[in-house]
């Protein structure tokens, strides 16, 4: 399946299919220097990748989120600079969303910008294949250092999904689910029907359909934001609370986002008179085997401080994306009072249903 971005310029293809990685060699043929940065776990699981490209330098990088650190940035930038690259250079990121963020930020800032190609290997990474956001983490929070830098091509090879650990499937599913929530009721129902329980989800049956529609949803929102109506913030659904618990409790991104979505339902009920059923959603998360006992360790003051660091806040304070209904997101300031009330309700819900 071939998708194309629809920006005013600098568009790129997103190819979603089994064996997509075979197209990499051709895409790289006109570059003078090629550096392939590959997530260590992916390199271990797919050893054929190591000797696949002759004229490229292959660099294994630490797996997952941990690589998004200035120390690694310095190490790998300097390693690449040893080869005296010119601007006619391409960096390739083979790995999950974190790998793409990290390598994309390197590409954005190497010699003031070189090309990069993304080869996502996780379900979660479908999310970062659109939008051009790249970056690394800082002690104060995730992605606080970064840039906007679009890839030249995204080769989304579905074969990689075969070896995903269950925790990665759950993590990626959160963004798939979020994109459905931002679309409409039908999209959500389709997902819940296809994947009512963990056993169904782990088969990843028909997942390419949902990946493609997730990418389409995100693309539409990102394009609308190019016209500066601010819709891009909608993609932050579940992320205000999600990022806070993710960094405070070292959760997998999507696990945190799912709890963030749950929290958002409670807030939306409080401030928008929405009629979501947090209990039902909590039960769905349990059926999918998301780890939820961590909720018992949450501390409001700690998490509130972290929420204050969100880039998307403005002068009035914490901004959250809230659903009025499914498919109808809204960005709103939410007071500390409401956040605390919603937090108490979350703890109570957990104690009742767990």
Catalytic residues: 112, 133, 175, 218, 228, 232, 236, 239, 243, 253
Residues contacting its own copies: total by CB under 8 A:
37
Q: The tokens of 218 are what?
A: 């995100």
185 vs 311, which CB is nearer to its own copies? 311
Cβ at position 64, least distance to its own copies in Å:
21
Q: Which is nearer to its own copies, 2 or 315 (CB)?
A: 315
Ranges within 277-336 binding its own copies (CB under 8 A): 308-309, 311-315
Contact between 147 and its own copies by CB under 8 A: the answer reads yes
Q: Minimum distance between the CB of residue 89 and its own copies, rounded to whole angstroms?
A: 10
Answer positive or negative: Cα dihedral of 147, 153, 156, 159. negative
Instruction: Give the three-state DSSP class for 242.
Output: helix
Site mask for its own copies (CB under 8 A), range 70-89, x = bound: x--xx--xx--xx-x-xxx-
**Minimal distance, residue 79 CB to its own copies, in Å:** 10
Q: Which residue has the tokens 């990685």?
A: 21
State which residue, 97 or 135, has the beta carbon closest to its own copies. 135
65 near 85, Cβ under 8 Å?
Answer: no
Total residue length of the chain: 354
Closest CA to 33 of 106, 104, 84, 98: 84
Give me the DSSP letters along 10-75. ---EEEEETTGGGGHHHHHTT-SEEEEEEEHHHHHH-GGGGGS-TTSEEEEE--GGGG-SHHHHHH
Minimal distance in Å, beta carbon 140 to its own copies?
4
Going residue by residue from 5 to 44, which x/- string records binding to its own copies, judged by CB under 8 A? ---------------------------x------------
Nearer to its own copies, 22 or 74 (CB): 74
**Closest distance to its own copies from the beta carbon of 150 (Å):** 13
> 292 near 204, Cβ under 8 Å?
no
Judged by beta carbon, residue 108 or residue 155, the one nearer its own copies is 108
Pick 301 or 314: Cβ nearer its own copies: 314
Least distance (Å) from its own copies to the CB of residue 111? 5
User: Residue 121's closest CA among 89, 76, 168, 167?
Assistant: 168
CA atoms of 161 and 204, how far apart (whole Å): 8
Tell which positions 87-146 bind its own copies, by CB under 8 A. 87-88, 108-113, 133, 135, 138-141, 143-146
DSSP letter (8 states) at residue 65: G
Strand 13-17 relative to strand 153-157: parallel, antiparallel, unpaired? parallel
Which residues make up the interface to its own copies (CB under 8 A)?
32, 70, 73-74, 77-78, 81-82, 84, 86-88, 108-113, 133, 135, 138-141, 143-148, 308-309, 311-315
């Amino acid at each position: 399946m071939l998708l194309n971005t629809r920006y005013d310029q600098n568009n790129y293809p997103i190819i979603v299919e089994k064996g997509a990685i075979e197209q990499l060699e051709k895409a790289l043929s006109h570059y003078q220097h090629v550096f392939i940065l590959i997530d260590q776990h992916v390199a271990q699981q797919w050893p054929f990748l190591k000797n696949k490209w002759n004229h490229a330098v292959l660099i294994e990088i630490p797996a997952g989120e941990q690589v998004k650190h200035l120390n690694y940035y310095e190490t790998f930038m300097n390693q690449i600079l040893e080869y005296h690259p010119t601007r006619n250079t391409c960096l390739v990121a083979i790995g999950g969303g974190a790998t793409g963020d990290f390598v994309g930020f390197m590409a954005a800032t190497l010699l003031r910008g070189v090309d990069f190609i993304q080869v996502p290997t996780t379900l979660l990474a479908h999310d970062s294949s659109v939008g051009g956001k790249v970056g690394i983490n800082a002690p104060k929070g995730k992605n606080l250092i970064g840039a906007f830098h679009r890839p030249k091509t995204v080769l989304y090879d579905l074969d990689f999904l075969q070896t995903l650990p269950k925790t990665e499937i759950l993590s990626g599913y959160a963004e798939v689910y979020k994109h459905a929530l931002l679309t409409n009721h039908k999209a959500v129902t389709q997902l819940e029907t296809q994947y009512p329980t963990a056993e169904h989800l782990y088969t990843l049956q028909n997942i390419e359909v949902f990946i493609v529609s997730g990418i389409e949803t995100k693309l539409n929102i990102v394009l609308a934001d190019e016209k500066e109506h601010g819709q891009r913030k909608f993609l932050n659904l579940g992320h205000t609370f999600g990022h806070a618990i993710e960094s405070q409790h070292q959760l997998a991104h999507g696990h945190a986002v799912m709890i963030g979505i749950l929290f958002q339902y409670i807030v939306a009920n409080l401030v928008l008179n929405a009629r979501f059923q947090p209990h039902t959603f909590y039960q769905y998360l349990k059926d999918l085997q998301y780890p939820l006992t961590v909720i018992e360790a949450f501390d409001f003051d700690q998490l509130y401080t972290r929420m204050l660091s969100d880039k998307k806040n403005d002068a009035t304070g914490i901004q959250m994306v809230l659903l009025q209904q499914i498919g109808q997101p809204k960005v709103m300031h939410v007071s500390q009072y409401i956040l605390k009330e919603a937090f108490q309700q979350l703890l109570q819900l957990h104690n009742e249903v767990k």
